[in-house]
Chains A and B, each alone.
Chain A
Amino acid sequence: MQRYVISVLTVLLLTGAAWAKKTRVVVTSSAYDSIARYVGGDTVEVTHIVKGQQDPHIVRPKPSLAVMLSKADLFVATGMDLEMWAPALVDMSNNPNIRSGQKGYVSASAGVPIIEKPITISRAEGDVHIFGNPHIHTSPLNGKFIAENICTGLKKIDPAHAALFDKNLARFKDEVDRRTFGPELVKMLGGKVLTRLAQRGKLIPFLEKKTYKGKKLIDRLGGWMKKALPLRGRKVVAYHKNWSYFSELFGLDIVDYMEPKPGIPPTPGHVAAVIAKMRELNIKVMLAANYFDVGRVNKVAERVNARAVIVALAPGGEKAIPTFLDQFDVWIDRLVAAFKKAGEA
């Protein structure tokens, strides 16, 4: 009897402690923020460093950031060379648990199929990312890898809730799949197959070739992929090289960038070449993140007779994009609308 009481009390105490203390998660990008909330549910308290309308390459050190990190149980960074400021910040926070390689550190990009790995590494090429393009959050499918990595990290810190994290992770992956490909296709082909085909750029040909129950698979496509079908093969000019994963998944053809090299302001010769290309290929739409000077981008678009689609690059960057999963709706809707208007004009 006594033993029984003690064990009940212990369980109560432990659950009480677990209730009281939430896992403090600090993430770099606001995209990781909403994913961490999804996976961690009520057990986590998430804060992010880079706001949705900020340039993730640059963060000015502030005392509050070090304080935030010093209290963190888990620190989620891209883990490539996007957040060059992160190691210094971690050092400043004096929190050994969240250093790279420690239990409290999660590299969000682990396992993500990275594209645009540079062949030659040279400072002359501008802000080149030596490990490949680090703007991984621009594809919904990469979100599943990010969620997986965050889930692994959370389980290490808070093993008691492992089952909950796994459940939430599965729910998140399922939601990503269903919103990317539509529920019907996910049921028939499974998210895993669809993801692999899409990431190799083979999904659309595959769906066009195959028939099931007397209906072409492509006609069963739903979600963002269907919504973005009008974008497939359409040509745009972007301002900076941060849409690669998005354009690759949805088949948008980014012909050139206004910046001659990543991070370097436009020069006349390059701009002339881009404008010539835009005329030749009849490109009417430009894409830019809203952390660039909006007026500047509009001016460029006006001079080249194009429609500028300016969107937040990450959640929280504008009202229409509160979470990671909302950003794709907004990006696709605006691009489709711009192409439609450009087509009418």
Chain B
Amino acid sequence: MNILELMAAPFAECMVLVGIHTYLGIHVLRRRVIFVDLALAQIAALGTMVGFLFGIMPETSAALIVSMMFTFFGAAVFALSRGRIGHRGQASKEGKDGKSARGMPERIPQEAVIGLVYAITAATAVLVVEKTQGAEHLKDILVGSILWVKWSDVGMAAGAYAVIGALHFVFRRQFLLISEDPEEAARQGLTIRAWDFFFYVTFGFVITFSTRVAGVLLVFVFLVAPAIMAFLVTSRLLHQLLIGWGMGTVVTLLGLMLSYVFDLPSGPSVVAFYGIALTLGALLFYVIRAPSTRRAVAWVGTGAVGTAAAAGLFYLGATLLAGTSLALDREHLRVASETTRANAERTQKAATSVRPTTTLTVGNLKLKACQRYLALPDAETRLALIEEILGRCQRGGLKLIVVFLADPSTPEFFRSEAIELLRKSTGKDFGLSAEATPDGAANTAALEKLQRHVEQLPPGAKEVKGSPCEC
């Protein structure tokens, strides 16, 4: 399994995502509705959850349809919540009282509505999850699973985004105008709300599609980061697009490679790497654009040194703090394990305090077994002990066989094994039967016979020198 085989499909998917999101990101930046992506993604997720409530499994096309329906509803909300005619300057000049006509009063920025929608849908998703018991799904929505994307997914995404891209190409004039200059658009006779709704529907469609695969975080970065980079350089759309795509490709490729080399989760790696790339890019432009390059470099250098110093201090402080908290942790673990040990000892004590009866009565026989035999947990281990003792001392072993056979809890198979041992040792079976219960008349008589035989044996017969005859 090499890097190409594993990462090719995720990379292709990322490329498809960069393609459409960079373009949409430019719109979103122009409209100043950055968080609309997060809100729509969350609405789509809520749709999946609600679908789950009705028994629609996530990641099926039915779930996708439910998500889409929710997203389109969200699109309507955002289209309606745009300030009367959108833009700050001119709009506030006209609608100074803020209550004019329809739409949101101009004093309330649309970001507030978007933020609210996000918070409310996220909370609702948690409530819905409570009913469906799928907390794992919620976590997945954030991070996504770009690593698992299949070629068929990539193909489907490419097809869907191509349709959206074509729509945007056909209506590029209108879309750009309502994003850039709604005043002018209104003057030209465009119905702002309708076009807004149309825009958000296409946008929501893309977001719903991409979040399912890449997760909220990655989609957001794909949307905003290349667009910001492009804005830093130029304000011409075509150039912005080219710069965004170029940056997106390079950064994604490096991010995925880092994820592979350092073995980190892929989505979050790409996101974090975008952060680094943006910071470096911004610094570079600061230096290039500054009136005095030398001063700018000096400033960046000071900043870098300052950041490094702060990081060093933080490192020291954190290590110190970790030391103390680790000590506390260890103490906690020690107490916890001691409690467990104490509990275990208590249980053990309780178990051993109920000793099994040491004497057995069968017919006229009163039998006693040694502690070592009784301490063994079951018939199999007891029989092994009997065999061991029998090997060095016939009398001791046979004594235990009597106990073993007289014990009503000894299972049938082990009785037969014991009788087999008896036969091997003495040459006869005294009429004992494995199937008959020990307290049955026939077996009792046989056991008594065996016991008499054992008692007649000389103590220590066949005894191996040095080791005791009893157990």
Contact = CB atoms under 8 A, between A and B. Distances in A.
Given A60-B135, A187-B412, A275-B1, A265 B336 contact: no
B136 A55 contact: yes
Contacts of B136: 55, 291-293
Contacts of B309: none
B7 interface: yes
Nearest to A270: B263
A190 B379 contact: yes
Interface centre among A260, A265, A268, A303 (most CB of B within 10 A): A268
B263 A188 contact: no
Nearest to A300: B148
Interface centre among A121, A131, A292, A303 (most CB of B within 10 A): A303
B412 A188 contact: yes
A164 to B, nearest CB: 20
B58 A293 contact: yes
B380 A196 contact: yes
A296 B145 contact: yes
Contact of B1 (A193, A276, A292): A276
Contacts of B1: 272-273, 275-276, 279
Contacts, number: 126
Contact of A267 (B2, B130, B133, B259): B259
Given A55-B136, A275-B6, A130 B336 contact: yes
Given A275-B6, A294-B57, A190 B343 contact: no
B211 to A, nearest CB: 14
Interface string B2-34: 110011000000000000000000000000000
Given A60-B130, A272-B6, A293-B140, A55 B135 contact: yes
Interface in B409-435: 409-414, 416-417
Contact of A303 (B58, B148, B380, B416): B148
Given A62-B130, A196-B377, A296 B140 contact: yes
Interface in B387-414: 409-414
Given A212-B413, A270-B263, A295 B57 contact: yes
A107 B140 CA distance: 33
Contact of B59 (A260, A292, A295): A295
Interface string A282-316: 00000000011111101110110000000000000
B378 interface: yes
B137 interface: yes
Interface of B: 1-3, 6-7, 57-60, 126, 130, 133-137, 140, 143, 145, 147-150, 259-266, 333, 336-337, 340, 343-344, 347, 377-381, 409-414, 416-417
11 contacts: A55-B135, A55-B136, A131-B337, A188-B413, A190-B411, A190-B414, A192-B379, A269-B263, A293-B137, A295-B57, A295-B60
Given A267-B264, A275-B1, A276-B1, 18 more contacts: A54-B133, A60-B135, A107-B343, A130-B333, A130-B336, A188-B411, A193-B414, A210-B413, A260-B263, A266-B147, A269-B260, A269-B261, A279-B1, A291-B136, A293-B137, A293-B140, A299-B59, A299-B145
